[in-house]
Structure 1
Amino acid sequence: MGEAVTIAVIDDQDVVLSGVEMWIAEDHGHRVEIVHTGTDLADLDSGPAATADVLVIDLRIDGEFVFDQIAALAARGRRIVVFSQHAEPDIVQRADMAGALAYITKEANEGRSHLIDAVLAVAAGEKYTTPSQAGAMLAGTAHVQPKFSQQELRTMRLWLGGLTRAGVARQMGISEHTVKQYLERAREKYAKAGREVGTRVDFYREARRDGIVEE
């Protein structure tokens, strides 16, 4: 039997780390060895994690998506398996575009059924397609559209139509602070759907995609 594939596992929930450790321990072939566990991405360039064959990373650390960090790691040649609670097609596709070679959801025992096989495939430089990834592929260009309140929709339309927040406030008869709150809520809803709108241009693009504003 050859040497075990080494992995570093990053997740901000201890129960998930314990679950992964249990699945690895249950493998009678001892094909995978955990050399590092952590709750953030800070220590992946030092110690045993620096030479781990595969990184198993949660897609959301401390409430923030880590697509950019995954892309940076992949660009440096690190082989990555994403292990996430998110199963939305857009999010799965974004992880794939960032460079993840496998995407496993924490739902429906997909982790227990596929994690070791995915790690072994990724360690060999291959992509591994799980049911969640297959579903995302079938979804094609489908995307998750957040549900906005009428006030949030009206605020977005006015602001993205060119008004300042002060102008939106006057138009709607509300305070500028309330306008800011509506926009922040809309941004949060987009973020939860895996669709970051950090800039006004990003916001406009996604709102136009959802039919909220027109060209």
Structure 2
Amino acid sequence: MTSIEHAPTPVPASPYRLALLDDHELIVDGLARWFTDFAADFTVVIRATSWMDLVRDPEFPVDLVLMDLQLGDTVSIESRIRACRAAGAKVIVVTAIDDEESRRRSLVAGAVGFVSKTLPADELVDYARRVMRGERVQRHQPAPRADSAIAGDPPDRHGVALSAAEEKALRYYAQGLSTVEVGRRMEVGYETAKTYLRRVREKYAKAGRPASRKAELIRRAAEDGYLE
């Protein structure tokens, strides 16, 4: 990356909190330096080279995540995007695989942008800035989302054994659905869905893994493989 001159950019009262997720450390470090040097309206608070590093970081959730499409794990890009969105973070997918199908999958899952890694760093900064200002930078037609089939009781994961209904409620909730929407998907009432999620939180608490806040619950779901 070569330095270029930039016109001063107004800095918000509270800089946008940014996370960088790419399994190539050089890319993470390069982007971090660029944002630090040329984008005072952003603060890089997380540098992660794996999905688990991101969700386990105490600074998560953030305002915006720049996320690589392909990582060396089994969690799909859809699940990663939905988990970030559920926690309140916007997502821009930055990828070397700039094909229409990957773009469609990312945007349908809730990403606010999909850009190639060949995009110059200064243009990527400007793109991220426009996203955080609420400008419309991508248009797409939402497509129906296929729900994961869940059958049988799950194994005990890290001391937390969830029933099939509890796991299903957790999966939906971690994808960004509200408690009301979880109930509708499961074809149960709001109070029943709320009870399932309460039991999930209680089981994690008993295992010494707090999950009272939404971000914490999403982190537990990621740690235990419920976002596969």
Unaligned runs of 5+ in 1: 138-215
Query: Are 1:124 and 2:133 counterparts?
Result: yes
Q: Post-superposition shift, 1:90?
A: 1.2
Go from structure 1 to structure 2 and tell me whether the alpha carbon gap of 1:76 and 1:126 turns closer, same or farther (over 3 Å shift): farther
Whole-Å Cα distance in 2 between the matches of residues 105 and 63 of structure 1?
Answer: 21
Q: Post-superposition shift, 1:48?
A: 4.9
Whole-Å Cα distance in 1 between the matches of residues 47 and 96 of structure 2?
Answer: 18
Bigger Rg over Cα: 1
Q: Could you tell me whether the CA contact under 8 Å between 2:36 and 2:44 is conserved in 1?
A: no
Higher relative contact order (CA 8 A, sep 6+): 2
Q: Deviations over 1:69-115 (max 9, x none)?
A: 212322343211111111111111111111110112112xx141422
Whole-Å Cα distance in 1 between the matches of residues 47 and 25 of structure 2?
Answer: 10
Whole-Å Cα distance in 2 between the matches of residues 4 and 32 of structure 1?
Answer: 5
Which amino acid in the other structure matches residue 22 of structure 1? R
Larger helix proportion of the pair: 1
After TM superposition, list the pairs within 5 Å mapping 1:1-215 onto structure 2.
Answer: 1-2=11-12, 3-27=14-38, 30-62=40-72, 65-107=76-118, 110-129=119-138
Q: Deviations over 1:128-150 (max 9, x none)?
A: 24xxx8xxx7xxxxxxxxxxxxx
SS in 1 for 2:51: coil
CA RMSD of aligned residues (A): 2.4
Go from structure 1 to structure 2 and tell me whether the alpha carbon gap of 1:80 and 1:66 turns closer, same or farther (over 3 Å shift): same
SS in 1 for 2:17: strand
Whole-Å Cα distance in 1 between the matches of residues 89 and 80 of structure 2?
Answer: 11
Deviates most, 51-60 or 119-128 = 119-128
SS in 1 for 2:19: strand
SS in 2 for 1:100: coil
Whole-Å Cα distance in 1 between the matches of residues 110 and 103 of structure 2?
Answer: 11
Q: Deviations over 1:22-58 (max 9, x none)?
A: 321331x512111110111224445453242111111
Q: Could you tell me whether the CA contact under 8 Å between 1:82 and 1:104 is conserved in 2?
A: yes
Q: Could you tell me whether the CA contact under 8 Å between 1:105 and 1:111 is conserved in 2?
A: no
Deviates most, 35-44 or 95-104 = 35-44
TM-score of the aligned structures, taking structure 2 as reference length? 0.49
SS in 2 for 1:50: coil
Unaligned runs of 5+ in 2: 1-10, 141-228
Percent identity reads 22
Structure 1 runs (4+) greater than 3 angstroms displaced? 43-49, 124-127
Aligned residue-pair number: 128
Q: Could you tell me whether the CA contact under 8 Å between 1:21 and 1:34 is conserved in 2?
A: yes
Whole-Å Cα distance in 1 between the matches of residues 60 and 83 of structure 2?
Answer: 14
Q: Deviations over 1:121-169 (max 9, x none)?
A: 332344424xxx8xxx7xxxxxxxxxxxxxxxxxxxxxxxxxxxxxxxx
Whole-Å Cα distance in 2 between the matches of residues 127 and 74 of structure 1?
Answer: 17
Whole-Å Cα distance in 2 between the matches of residues 47 and 72 of structure 1?
Answer: 14
TM-score of the aligned structures, taking structure 1 as reference length? 0.52
SS in 1 for 2:88: coil
